[in-house]
Structure 1
Amino acid sequence: MRILAFAMGHAIRADDGAGLAVAHGLDALVPGLEVLEVPELRPEHAEAVATVDGVLFLDASVAGTPGDVRAARLVPRPAREAILHSLTPEEILGLARALFGHAPPGALVTIAGREFAFGEALSPEVEAALPLAREKAREMAAGF
């Protein structure tokens, strides 16, 4: 089984790098995992999504109490009509289906952040949540 993980965020924006941090070591927990580190989701990512058996989206969130981990299955939806450079995970799945005929199962795993200013260190809350976020990602991938 081939699983693709989009580790999203900016490592130089403190907790915005949470998705990147979750991805580190995740390949040891999820067989067949390929990780792509991206600052944002772009329309051209739909082609890669259409070729795999499942896709994880790993990201930081501004919603919730810092350190909160959330995991949810995703439902593909059509991309917004405007020409955009950044899309949601659901829109990437929808584009994969519309353009390439296949949208694999997808899941989003997020950690709520506290600090998004310039800096490379994760907040203590996000750092402490990394093991749980990796476990949630593993659980989601096992359900593909």
Structure 2
Amino acid sequence: MRSVASKDSDIVFQSYGRCCNNEIFFIDFYDRFMSSSPAIFERFRETDMKQQRHLLRNGIMQLVLYSRGMSDAKLRSLGKSHDRHGYNIRPEWYELWIEALIATLREHDPVFSPEVETAWRRAIAPGVELIRGAY
């Protein structure tokens, strides 16, 4: 059972709201994430990035909602699609994903602070672990 403080999930929900209405947030995220590893860059080379950004928007929202007590069904489905039999997203790549997300939030959230960063890390950790654990 996850235990995310209500305060953390509120901070994250508000932070995401400040960032997700600007498409450049998602473009900047993928620029960072894809430059974090040649293997990750290769993974996205033939990808429709507009569609991928839409999927990312939804995926982050699912992590946020899970931290707020919603069902894990969508994250379990995401884990299945990303496992070794699906997209084969290696478990170690999730740390790069998190770091790209935090760096992009830092750039785009006008009230980003150490408290906001800590809230994000605590709030999304259970959901990311659920997805990564499906590998």
| TM-score over 0.5 (shorter chain) | no
Which of 1 and 2 has higher RCO (CA within 8 Å, sep 6+)?
2
Point out the structure with the larger helix share.
Answer: 2
With structure 1 as the length reference, what TM-score do the two structures score? 0.25
Point out the structure with the larger strand share.
Answer: 1
With structure 2 as the length reference, what TM-score do the two structures score? 0.26
